[in-house]
A and B are shown apart, each in its own frame.
Chain A
Amino acid sequence: KAGVTQTPRYLIKTRGQQVTLSCSPISGHRSVSWYQQTPGQGLQFLFEYFSETQRNKGNFPGRFSGRQFSNSRSEMNVSTLELGDSALYLCASSYGTSGGVETQYFGPGTRLLVL
């Protein structure tokens, strides 16, 4: 099976702009989670989507949003970018049906730089 893919891999934006990142899960996986990784805060959970519905949400401002399509592909959007949004954004997929005891598989990440 193909792994989790994320596009684009690298992105440079300026403050105030918005950005959309894409994640394609492993075939058959219905859960997609997003994480932000920064040197200062480490890896932090953004949100999780399952069957096109947001099932869990982390403690991020409303500028961070996401959605999931019927084919389980997911996008996350960050509006009004701030310098502090520079980070590696990782998505992970799983079947999402085991009640939380399940391996999650991560994509290679999108590295976002905000200038």
Chain B
Amino acid sequence: SQQGEEDPQALSIQEGENATMNCSYKTSINNLQWYRQNSGRGLVHLILIRSNEREKHSGRLRVTLDTSKKSSSLLITASRAADTASYFCATGGLRGNEKLTFGTGTRLTIIP
């Protein structure tokens, strides 16, 4: 079963615009990670945010975490055609183990 739901399911924007994706989850977490997947290939790790952190940046990526609302958002600024991919949030670390529970994903399309 999926832990998280991502919103929107699909998003199309013009190159250069910002893209925001949201993730909601159901149970307590230890950490939340965002991954990118291109056309059914492997997952590329983007960023990890711990449950005691509220915001994290990495290059053009900004992730926020609100544990009271059980939600996270991923912002990609100044989007590029190469950002076209599916984005997944994954929660993990419960009971100190490595298991990740993935959301349903957002399909992002950048229009050149």
- The answer to whether A100 and B95 touch (CB under 8 A), given A42-B2, A45-B100, is yes
| A-B CB contact pairs (8 Å), 12 listed | A43-B90, A43-B102, A56-B99, A100-B30, A100-B92, A100-B96, A100-B97, A101-B93, A104-B92, A106-B43, A108-B42, A111-B40
The residue in chain A whose Cβ has the minimal distance to the Cβ of B4 is: A42
A21 within 8 A of B: no
For the A-B complex, the count of residue pairs with Cβ-Cβ distances under 8 Å equals: 79
- Residues B87-105 near A (CB distance < 8 A): 88, 90, 92-105
B60 within 8 A of A: no
Q: How far is the CA of A42 from the CA of B104 in the complex (A)?
A: 6
Total interface residues in chain B, CB < 8 Å: 29
B64 within 8 A of A: no
Which of chain B's residues have a CB closer than 8 A to the CB of A100? 30-31, 92-99
A96 within 8 A of B: yes
Contact B50 A90 (CB under 8 A): no
- The answer to whether A99 and B93 touch (CB under 8 A), given A43-B88, A45-B99, is yes
